[in-house]
Structure 1
Amino acid sequence: MQPILFVNTINNTPFDAGAEKVIQVLRDELHARGVPTKSISVAIPGTEVNHGPVDHRMKNPNVYFPYPPREHSVFGKSAFHALDNFNPVSAVRFRRLLKEVKPSVIFTHNLRCISCSAWAPLWQGESVVHVHYLHDYQLLCTASSMFNGRSDCGTQCLKCRVFSLIKKRLSSNVDVVYGASEFILERHCSNGLFRRAVAKVMEPPLVASGGARAAKSDLGDIRRFGFLGRLVDDKGVLELVEAFKEFLGFLRIEQRRLAKLLIAGSGDQSYVELLEKSITGYDEIEYVGVVKPEAYFPRIDALIVPSKWSDPNPVVVIEAYQRHKPVIAAKVGGLITSVSHGRTGLHFEHREGNASLVRALKEAWSSPSFSTDDMDLYLQGRSVSSAVDMLLEDISRAEKTKSSNGPAP
């Protein structure tokens, strides 16, 4: 049996990011079913290039490695994004690896550094099925977020339209495209990508959490709030800190002793220093660094997702529901549908400044009416088994379509 080849910028990442979690659980389920998989990724600086029998890591073919984000010159950024459309060095290496792997399916995810040359049909044969999963907006936006520092872009700016021209053209070679939410899928399709592909929503699938899930009777007073994720500006962490400080001012002294905001994650050192400076003098707010979800969630009563960008559908929301933790989220992107206001959590609006988030914190503190049954209902059908069922069915249909239609025009 020919393998399914997973293609992603990084593999076995130290950043514990959502895309890599999704890839790992999909591969684990496919292996359990006897379906072989292999992977191609880019070696993180400081790690070895690897050409193993299953996982291949190529040397970075672009001018710099984008994770974690750092400042680069205007020329460096322009060169990086130009090569991210179609990188000839990556194309040559990719072609050589494909001859070794001989996949029946190429399942692409984040393509930074590898570039959209992974979709080029010139050396892959017409029978290879191309599947892509949308985790963010990197195909539409040079910053991957469609966020301009103040608000959601909505549509592409001129710079991003220019840098995505080849990406749009090559995306016509994709047979099946999945979006982590309806929001991200519609945004890409409405901007001219994946015109020939079957487009579907595949929410981030996770394995059963087993003993990590809280008993329904454990959902009580909400006193300990938390943030878990990347520490970058568009995640809204500093805004969360300021809103929480304001919220503390509404509490009586004895209540304030119970209040806690626990921030976990990693980011650029300069941003971490800003965060640590902002919480100085507030014992109620603590930055705890990188913590695994299984160790983090028992320490909080509710999760806060204060994203300023149109977050497609962060994995952390599902991880919270698995443990019966309500989610207080910005009303943006996929969070609009993944959080049910008043049932599985609360929404707030960034356009109101701190006021909306402060109101949500006060409501969660004083009169929570969240439903663990609704959290369970949201999780139904989002198992990795259901996701792989859909994947294999769509691959089978695409193979039959290719066989019956012959070479693409």
Structure 2
Amino acid sequence: MPTKRYGSAGSDRSQFCTAACRCLALCSVAGQTVRLVVGAERVAWLLRIRSVSSNRRPEERYRQLRVLIANIVYATPSDPRVVGGAEVSTKALAEGLVARGHEVVVFRGHDSKVADADENVEGVRVVSRDIRNFYWPFDGVVRVKASKAMWHIVDNLGLVPRGLTDLLDEFAPEVVHTNNLIGLSWGVWREAAKRNIPIVHVLRDYYLVCGRSARFRNGRICTSTCAECRVATFARGPKTVLVDAVIGNSKAILDTHLEAGLFVNAKIRTNIVNIAERRAVRVVRSEDGFVTFGYIGRASSEKGLELLAKAFGRMQGNVKLVIAGETRPEVRQRLVAEAGREIDFMGFVAPDEFYSRVDVVVVPSLWAEPLPRAVLEAFSYGRPVIASERGGIPEAVGTAGGGWLFNPDSVDDLVAIMNKVASERTLTDKAALQAFESARRFSAENVTEAHLAVLRAVTVK
């Protein structure tokens, strides 16, 4: 959707410009781009923006909110699994809201092998219920196409886990903040809308337009929604009309969904980065002068690990490659064979342990990754990044000098940058300082306040 252009004369134009500027001031600190909605909603939008401006009464501006956050995965002592960066970012936001005095309940799903739970973690109440579908989507089991198709058909029916409706009635949230809904389904929106609860949705993947949630197939990015994915998502996109505000964790993913015609009723459309607090962790450098490159994350095909291994194998000089995250034995064998040299597989480790081992982080994504947590975390630890130029990655790397972008279609491009970085230690040291400084935009204070501006805007009566 094009950016709002306002051309009316007189006081209305002046009022609109003033309100829009105030909203931009609130959001720019988190690196956002605000999109204003055309048409008859202008007055309603103005009222919302004015409500979060500095002219609000103090008691309204700082009013505590009751927020229900829905995300399919959320780590707790009873179920500590972490699938990807979305749940880490959601957890950081939930705790950031609680730290500012807001009451937060998180609703998550689980598979049939895990018991229902109601826990309190860092001041956040977390309610977990079994999803209503054939299988847990993150169990790692390879299934035939017919089984996947049946799963998506059920998911499109909008069946929510039992217990959500009771929780909505009991907690009575002032706003529902949804994130990754795979397994929970769009039915969360339906139940909130039935109760006239405003809905804010955060785009963290392509679940609404792609059956694989990645828009990546046969080694290539999908430039449009294929027939198979239109069937797999037949109800998801149309139900976005229930959403009052949509936030992309990057401008790239927000644009993809708006261009697909989704969220037509959302009066706020903006992008807000994820939280990654700065942490000063010293690199334990090799005494032999080796430069250590590192990758942290899933070992799935779209992440580009084979590309990284191939580039590493072609490098010159004293270099090492460290990979953190769960990797199956056959994947490790394939990567070592691709590189033709030793790779250090750390397995699943704490971020501090990984970042203390590496000089430079590589993010070789082949898909249009919305906002890789690896980039944010690397900057927060003061580690420069070599990253693919796809999706929202260029937005995350920015132009402050903390990283380098490469074309993932060219292994030679990646090799050239890695060789340059490895051979010029002063270049790496300078980039590390720039990365650490750039990470200020990912602070909990900046990102949480940006989300609060949206939450308060949609809750104005």
TM category (shorter chain) comes to 0.7 to 0.9
Give aligned-pair identity as a percent: 26
In structure 1, what residue type is equivalent to 2:172?
K
1:18 correspondence with 2:85: yes
Q: Which residue of 2 aligns with 1:6?
A: 69
Instruction: Name the Cα RMSD after superposition.
Output: 2.5
CA change 1:45–1:329 in 2 (3 A) is farther
1:346 correspondence with 2:416: no
The one of 286, 297, 317 aligned to 1:229: 297
In structure 2, what residue type is equivalent to 1:101?
F
SS of 2:422's partner is helix
Q: Which residue of 1 aligns with 2:51?
A: none
1:70 correspondence with 2:150: no
Q: Which residue of 2 aligns with 1:100?
A: 170
What is the number of equivalent residue pairs in this alignment?
383
CA change 1:274–1:291 in 2 (3 A) is same
Deviation at 1:87, TM superposition (A): 2.9
Deviation at 1:204, TM superposition (A): 0.9
Deviation at 1:299, TM superposition (A): 0.5
- Asked if structure 2 preserves the Cα contact closer than 8 Å seen for 1:303 and 1:327, the reply is yes
Q: In 1, distance between residues paired with 2:258 and 2:240?
A: 10
SS of 2:115's partner is coil
- TM-score (ref. length: structure 1): 0.86
CA change 1:93–1:261 in 2 (3 A) is same
Deviation at 1:152, TM superposition (A): 0.8
Q: In 2, distance between residues paired with 1:14 and 1:214?
A: 28
Q: Which residue of 1 aligns with 2:331?
A: 274
Deviation at 1:374, TM superposition (A): 3.4
Q: Which residue of 2 aligns with 1:109?
A: 179
Deviation at 1:45, TM superposition (A): 4.9
Deviation at 1:165, TM superposition (A): 3.2
1:56 correspondence with 2:127: yes
1:241 correspondence with 2:309: yes
- Asked if structure 2 preserves the Cα contact closer than 8 Å seen for 1:83 and 1:115, the reply is no
Q: Which residue of 2 aligns with 1:218?
A: none
Q: In 2, distance between residues paired with 1:213 and 1:119?
A: 45
1:380 correspondence with 2:440: yes
The one of 178, 192, 208 aligned to 2:261: 192
SS of 1:226's partner is strand
- Asked if structure 1 preserves the Cα contact closer than 8 Å seen for 2:106 and 2:126, the reply is yes
CA change 1:279–1:303 in 2 (3 A) is same
Deviations 1:206-228, CA, capped at 9 Å, x for gaps: 2342x43779xxxxx87100110
1:389 correspondence with 2:460: no
CA change 1:75–1:3 in 2 (3 A) is same
Q: In 2, distance between residues paired with 1:66 and 1:136?
A: 15
- TM-score (ref. length: structure 2): 0.77
1:249-264 correspondence runs (5 A): 251=316, 255=317, 258-264=318-324
CA change 1:153–1:41 in 2 (3 A) is same
Deviations 1:36-80, CA, capped at 9 Å, x for gaps: 111111124532111457221111211111114431122211111
Q: Which residue of 2 aligns with 1:407?
A: none
Q: Which residue of 2 aligns with 1:406?
A: none
In structure 2, what residue type is equivalent to 1:259?
V
- Asked if structure 2 preserves the Cα contact closer than 8 Å seen for 1:25 and 1:207, the reply is no
Q: Which segments of 5 or more consecutive residues in structure 1 lack a partner in the other structure?
A: 216-220, 404-409
In structure 2, what residue type is equivalent to 1:246?
R
SS of 1:167's partner is coil
1:116-155 correspondence runs (5 A): 116-121=186-191, 124-126=194-196, 128-155=197-224
In structure 1, what residue type is equivalent to 2:146?
F
CA change 1:87–1:196 in 2 (3 A) is closer
Q: Which residue of 2 aligns with 1:357?
A: 414
Q: In 2, distance between residues paired with 1:301 and 1:372?
A: 9
Q: In 2, distance between residues paired with 1:241 and 1:113?
A: 34
CA change 1:87–1:213 in 2 (3 A) is farther
- Asked if structure 2 preserves the Cα contact closer than 8 Å seen for 1:276 and 1:287, the reply is no
1:158 correspondence with 2:158: no
Which shifted more, 184-193 or 388-397? 388-397
1:299 correspondence with 2:299: no
The one of 396, 406, 424 aligned to 1:367: 424
Q: Which segments of 5 or more consecutive residues in structure 2 lack a partner in the other structure?
A: 1-63
